[in-house]
Amino acid sequence: MPIRVVIAGGGTGGHLYPGIALAKALMKHGSDIEITFVGTRQGIETSVLPREGFKLKTILSSGLIGKKGVNRWISWCKLPAGLAQSLCFLVRNKPDLAVGVGGYASGPLVLSAWVLRIPILIHEQNVVPGVTNKWLGKIADRVAVSFKESLRYFPSRKTVHTGNMIREEICELKEAAPAEKPERFVVLVLGGSQGAHSINKGMVQALDHLSDLRDSLHFIHQTGTRDADETRAGYERKEFSAEVQPFIFDVAEAYRKAALVICRAGATTLAEISACGKVSVLIPFPYAAHGHQEQNARVIEAAGAGEAILDRDVTGESLSSAIRRAMRDPERMREMSENSYSLGNRDAAEKVKQMCLELLETARGMTQTDGNPIKKSRLSCF
């Protein structure tokens, strides 16, 4: 019988990719571990997970925070449906462990796992946890957090600071980076997995202030679906070298090329940036719950690894000035890169994997056959 692990969460890359990093770490550890993700049809998981080779079960679920009127009632109506779907899925598949990594599907699935006495681990990516994870932390067996500042929100006896889980190919970038200097200064622009209209608009405006540097710059820009054509046309119209895509699947290669990253301040993006030692210009999403993206950005800024520009201050001039500062001071960039790399938690996925294996070992050790405890679990051969 395989050891079954269910990873619940997604919606955005920030929630999904830590789960993928954990799944890959677990599968490297043992060939008899079977991973299934639980998400929603609307999330990025529907397009990413098939490419990664993982199974996906979708349930009905959506957020409540920030919803008003009819949309809030619709979200409430989805909650019991999502719980019922989660319970049925868990009863049918009998997983040995449930992991919640955030996102709309995490709440119903983890709550259902608790009802069925399935061991639970949750992972919190942000400095300030959302309402759902604060509550789930009370019923989970173990809690992993990305920031030390998050420890105070969860019971100390079961909470561990691990850092945010990053895919192995990103963790290895700094050592694998080529020594030769690129012909152009490469700017990677990331608005999150769904893009960011204010950043897309600001970057096109910034090109007017960078015309004298046109031959020295190259942009890699993830726009989201809505703004892709308009943003691509902006670069072409102003004759700048650019690769514009709605979503960058091979983000590790994009990071490898980048000298500067302009992006939102989601916890997973910041973990990826610091894991490979990239310097960043951070533009926190202004409507993030509890302002957590701005708090995330301030941690990076205080460490001298990047600078923050609030969304309301994003203009062509502010973005072009940040790019010029980076280009004209290589020594400052080198120091900031080192500061960034020192913040990275490149072993986070391994730490969380060990927490998962401990829960599985405990659960298997408590399993009884003919009334007698099993002395040797299936994990003993790993």
pLDDT tens digits for range 37-51:
999 888 899 999 999
Distance CA 122, CA 309 (A): 31
Q: What is the CATH number of domain 170-342?
A: 3.40.50.2000
Sign of the torsion angle spanned by Cα atoms 91, 92, 98, 99: negative
Collapsing DSSP to helix, strand or coil, 336 comes out as helix
Distance CA 91, CA 87 (A): 6
Torsion angle defined by CA atoms of residues 172, 174, 176 and 177, in that order, rounded to the nearest 10 degrees: 140
What angle is formed at CA 169 by the lines to CA 12 and CA 182, rounded to 5 degrees?
105
Q: What is the CATH number of domain 3-166+346-381?
A: 3.40.50.2000
pLDDT > 70 in the chain, percent: 89
Q: Closest by alpha carbon to 244, among 259, 256, 234?
A: 234
pLDDT digits (tens, 9 = 90+) for 177-203: 555 677 899 999 998 767 799 999 999
Distance CA 344, CA 71 (A): 38
Distance CA 6, CA 55 (A): 10
Q: Closest by alpha carbon to 101, among 30, 40, 37, 149?
A: 37
Any bridge partners for residue 38, and if so which?
Answer: 8, 57
**Number of H-type helices and E-type strands within the chain:** 15, 15
Q: How far is CA 190 from CA 123, 173, 222, 247, 291, in A?
A: 23, 18, 5, 9, 19
User: In the chain, where are the structural domains located?
Assistant: 3-166+346-381, 170-342
How high is the mean pLDDT of the chain? 88
Q: Which amino acid is at 133?
A: N
Distance CA 151, CA 11 (A): 25
The yes-or-no verdict on residue 72 having pLDDT over 70 is no
pLDDT digits (tens, 9 = 90+) for 260-279: 999 999 888 999 999 999 99
pLDDT > 90 in the chain, percent: 69
368-369 and 372-373: which strand pairing?
A: antiparallel
Average pLDDT over residues 283-307: 89
Distance CA 217, CA 213 (A): 6
The yes-or-no verdict on residue 294 having pLDDT over 70 is yes
* pLDDT attached to residue 377: 37
* pLDDT attached to residue 318: 98
Nearest-Å Rg of the Cα atoms of the chain is: 22
* pLDDT attached to residue 371: 39
Q: Which amino acid is at 346?
A: R
- What is the value of pTM for the model shown? 0.82
60 φ, ψ (degrees, to nearest 5):
-85, 125
The yes-or-no verdict on residue 4 having pLDDT over 90 is yes
Token pair of 271 as six digits: 């973990």
Is 302 or 65 the better-scoring residue by pLDDT?
Answer: 302
Domain 170-342 in the same topology as domain 3-166+346-381:
yes
